[in-house]
Amino acid sequence: MVQQIAFPSGNVDFMFGSSFDELWQTYDKQQVVIITNEHIAKLYARLFKGLKILVIPPGESSKDLHTIGSLARQLLEMQATRKTMLIGVGGGVITDIVGFLATVYLRGVAFGFVPTTLLGMVDAAIGGKNGVNSGMHKNILGTITQPKFILYDVRFLDTLPDDEWSNGFAEIIKYACIFDADMFADLAGHNISCYQDHDDAALIELINKCAGWKIRTVQEDEKETGIRKLLNFGHTAAHAIENLYELPHGKAVGIGMVIAAMISEDVSGLDRRATDKLKTLLSQYHLPVQLKFNAKKAMDILKMDKKRVDDKIDYIVLEQPGKGAVHALPFDKIEKALAAYESNH
């Protein structure tokens, strides 16, 4: 099923319930270059047979300008032109890299995404944000450009490692926290194995619901000047500790949500019992709620967060489960919260 959805900067074809091979009903294989990582290239070699393909190492360490330069040189060697379409097949690292590369190569070529992870399907592939890291600073270089399509082939989840399932559920729990109290309650009544091993229909419904939240938010605020900021719930602290300690994104977001809930108790009156419920929920989906980290080092990175304005950062807090809010917090309040978390964990 193809559903064309309009965003301020362009239309995107959302191909829900599709298969990878359906792409060739619309796109010319000769004009396509697949970009993926070594794991996906090996697991799905059959799907890529006869296609031009560029392969990079997996993981966050590939998400930098060195990789962008290497891929650009390889595209030049292939004689890729402005008629070339880049298709990123992989998780959030791949979609970030491919979206950024496509935006700057020859000043812009068409691109599309085939997310292969739960996190990619519910969050990373949607919204047009494409970025790379610089040192410890995550997504500090980036663009907002929409892909031509996002294809959802849930068969890719059959080979998803257990850790990647929990990474994806971090973003799902984020949506429940900021937008959907009913989803929060429903998730609390289940656990990760219910979706991972047993109920495909429930999983697809959950993916579609989360994609819907992201789509509507980006339609309203593509450039992140208002409501889209809510999608950063848990991510501000997460970005600071993710690269510092080489944590998987979802696990860092889990920690970040706990820190954000603790801050929420102070600045928006969140009931402490809601923080405890969030911790329980994260544990049900195999996400950590505690981590030993250096609060000072994390704060040094936070001070260069892209959401910084003067000596404040727009921090996403909860008023209650299902309702997020933006508060411009001074550095000293954030530093105090990080120190409190450090001392308690």
Q: What is the mean pLDDT of residues 158-173?
A: 95
Give the span between the Cα atoms of 195 and 176, in whole angstroms: 16
- The closest of 135, 142, 132, 136 to 63, measured between CA atoms, is 132
Question: CB-side exposure of 100: number of CA atoms within 13 Å?
Answer: 22
Query: Is 255 a residue whose pLDDT tops 90?
Result: yes
Cα Rg of the chain (Å, integer) = 20
Average pLDDT in the chain: 94
Using 50, 70 and 90 to split pLDDT, how confident is the model at 192? Answer: very high
Using 50, 70 and 90 to split pLDDT, how confident is the model at 326? Answer: very high
Cβ atoms of 144 and 9 within 8 Å: the answer is yes
Using 50, 70 and 90 to split pLDDT, how confident is the model at 198? Answer: low
Tens digit of each residue's pLDDT (9 = 90 or more) over 72-119: 999 999 999 999 999 999 999 999 999 999 999 999 999 999 999 999
Q: What is the mean pLDDT of residues 271-294?
A: 95
Provide the sign of the torsion angle of the four alpha carbons 149, 155, 156, 160, taken in this order.
positive
* pLDDT > 90 fraction of the chain, expressed in percent and rounded: 84
Query: Is 39 a residue whose pLDDT tops 80?
Result: yes
Cβ atoms of 323 and 178 within 8 Å: the answer is yes
Q: Are strands 312-320 and 137-144 parallel, antiparallel or unpaired?
A: unpaired
- pLDDT attached to residue 136: 83
Query: Is 290 a residue whose pLDDT tops 70?
Result: yes
Using 50, 70 and 90 to split pLDDT, how confident is the model at 3? Answer: very high
Q: What is the mean pLDDT of residues 330-343?
A: 87
Query: Is 327 a residue whose pLDDT tops 70?
Result: yes
- pLDDT attached to residue 203: 92
Query: Is 345 a residue whose pLDDT tops 80?
Result: no
Q: Which of residues 344 and 280 earns the better pLDDT score? A: 280
Query: Is 165 a residue whose pLDDT tops 80?
Result: yes
Query: Is 199 a residue whose pLDDT tops 80?
Result: no
- pLDDT attached to residue 307: 79
- pLDDT attached to residue 321: 95
What residues have CB less than 8 Å from 2, skipping those under 6 apart? 13, 14, 15, 18
Query: Is 340 a residue whose pLDDT tops 70?
Result: yes
Q: Which residues pair with 144 in a beta bridge?
A: 129
Instruction: Please report the domains of the chain, with CATH numbers, ordered by start residue.
Output: 2-159 (3.40.50.1970), 201-344 (1.20.1090.10)
Tens digit of each residue's pLDDT (9 = 90 or more) over 16-29: 999 999 999 999 99
Tens digit of each residue's pLDDT (9 = 90 or more) over 113-154: 999 999 999 999 999 999 999 988 889 999 999 999 999 999
Phi-psi map region of 2: left, alpha, beta (phi>0 left; psi -120 to 50 alpha)? beta
- pLDDT attached to residue 26: 95
Q: What is the mean pLDDT of residues 241-261?
A: 92
